[in-house]
Structure 1
């Protein structure tokens, strides 16, 4: 990591720098704000609050994307409360144990990395579910079963429920698990996403053991009459799982319905290898309403 140390106590700053450099970090020490190169990106800023509060504020604002740990001689609103509100990550009181400072640095470095990963995953999930229609009639109580030919719809429902319940999702595949004990996942939202793979005896056993647990089951086939709420979703405008070879017309129809909101007519017809006029004729033939914006 690239670390900036601003502290007027030269001996302390050098001691901190030596310890961090031993662990492979690059450290730059300055004694006042005039020595700082504000064009350099620092992963971590160790900032003494013995300088003026206006300078502390300026440094925090400029390095707002860095991990900022305050080095304070005493605690009050000026040295701790206000800098933390401005965006500093944490503080440590002088004199401090070196291991404690190092622990704080790596703690916040790990937290920042996990936060970035979480944001990336959340952005991907939002992107993946962006074109999936909202399902209005979703049971409020668990467990329940989803019947759909498009598993992405079920996935979206599960993620929405997990967010509402503030629970992590445990994904279970019946291709790999022949027996499931819901009590092993009582603190999680259990998502059985391929219920259609199980044999009838296994299905009955599962349905008889999930009554008091937070479980959502997805099946690409009709599960028949069951004791739990069931959501049946027909995918009318999304690319669905198919179990047979499509005719050319059925294929074109499926592609137009699935991708007309993603590509303009010129690009869609080019990818299908037909003219725009032919695309218009097929929409008319199949009764496909043209989306706005195409």
Structure 2
């Protein structure tokens, strides 16, 4: 990071610069506040002894920087006013440089975390507009989200979490991690979001749904089948909740993709019926596309 050290005690300024340079920071030292400077540095360390009359304007002009006041005593002028103007923190002289570095790293990590949160919040606000989510949310976990796309189910789950100001752990039914969660979550205080229930065969799905009735679980399934569970949020028929930006496939490519994805989940008779073809036609297409029957 680029660090500006505004300090008239030369030895202190050089000591700080040397220690920061050792851990990879680029430091610049001055004893004058430049009121024309605007957000040119990642970090600004200011000695209160040379603030002058216009330091609050300087701090406001550099509000994007991590500003830490280096002070000899605590007062409104050295602490309260600078922080109100936008400084992040202060450190009382004399101080250990390692403590100053700890403060810098703390606010650097905080700034990066805040940036990431804003980025993901912006992304979520963008994609949730693609789904006409039913509100108000009528259920408390456990409940099942029934949808025609994973994206739509995920948006609903995330919007629920945002609305209720809660967090949950993410699991896929394809992995075994959710089993450990259910086994070890004896307090039942941690919420889980479990996806891909459509990957289970009917009896396995029924057994799973029976097992989560007493746990704080939100589960999602992509299906048009009837699902039996005490609480089901069915968004499968809501307009405009198809996969965003999905590629358009040819009829042959679509047939191949659907057979590959669902053949291990349904018996041939049922899969053929869902595809609107005979069992013999399904067998012929599997042979044509080189799809091996899953057991």
- Shorter-chain TM-score category? 0.7 to 0.9
CA contact (8 A) 1:178 1:202 kept: no
Where 1:139 maps in the other structure, the secondary structure is coil
Q: Specify the alignment match of 1:43 in structure 2.
A: 42
Q: Specify the alignment match of 1:3 in structure 2.
A: 3
Let me know the Cα RMSD of the aligned residues: 2.7
Q: CA deviation at 1:150?
A: 2.5
Alignment of 1:231-270 (within 5 A): 231-233=233-235, 234-240=237-243
Q: CA deviation at 1:166?
A: 3.0
Q: CA deviation at 1:59?
A: 1.8
CA contact (8 A) 2:31 2:50 kept: no
Q: CA deviation at 1:182?
A: 2.6
Q: CA deviation at 1:131?
A: 2.2
Unaligned runs of 5+ in 2: 252-295
Alignment partners' CA distance in 1, 2:209 and 2:8: 68
Alignment partners' CA distance in 2, 1:39 and 1:169: 41
Task: Give 4+ residue runs of structure 1 displaced > 6 Å after superposition.
Answer: none
Could you give the per-residue CA deviations for residues 185-231 of structure 1, whole angstroms, max 9, x where no partner exists? 655431112111123443334323333432111111235322x2111
CA contact (8 A) 1:8 1:31 kept: yes
Q: Specify the alignment match of 1:169 in structure 2.
A: 168
Aligned mate of 1:204, from 200, 203, 206: 206
Alignment partners' CA distance in 2, 1:224 and 1:57: 63
How many equivalent pairs are there? Answer: 244
Q: Specify the alignment match of 1:70 in structure 2.
A: 69
Alignment partners' CA distance in 1, 2:21 and 2:36: 20
CA contact (8 A) 2:168 2:191 kept: yes
Structure-1-length-normalised TM-score: 0.74
Alignment partners' CA distance in 2, 1:22 and 1:57: 31
Q: CA deviation at 1:151?
A: 2.5
Q: CA deviation at 1:64?
A: 0.5
Could you give the per-residue CA deviations for residues 135-165 of structure 1, whole angstroms, max 9, x where no partner exists? 1253231111111102222212211222234
Alignment partners' CA distance in 2, 1:178 and 1:91: 45
Deviating more after overlay: 15-24 vs 134-143: 134-143
Q: Specify the alignment match of 1:21 in structure 2.
A: 21
Deviating more after overlay: 196-205 vs 95-104: 196-205
Alignment partners' CA distance in 1, 2:189 and 2:42: 36
Q: Specify the alignment match of 1:219 in structure 2.
A: 221
Q: CA deviation at 1:184?
A: 4.3
Unaligned runs of 5+ in 1: 248-294
CA contact (8 A) 1:167 1:188 kept: no
Alignment partners' CA distance in 1, 2:147 and 2:54: 60
Q: CA deviation at 1:11?
A: 1.6
Structure-2-length-normalised TM-score: 0.74
Alignment partners' CA distance in 2, 1:189 and 1:114: 23
Alignment partners' CA distance in 2, 1:39 and 1:225: 61
Q: CA deviation at 1:237?
A: 2.9
Could you give the per-residue CA deviations for residues 248-277 of structure 1, whole angstroms, max 9, x where no partner exists? xxxxxxxxxxxxxxxxxxxxxxxxxxxxxx
Alignment partners' CA distance in 2, 1:168 and 1:2: 36
CA contact (8 A) 1:70 1:91 kept: yes
CA contact (8 A) 2:172 2:178 kept: no
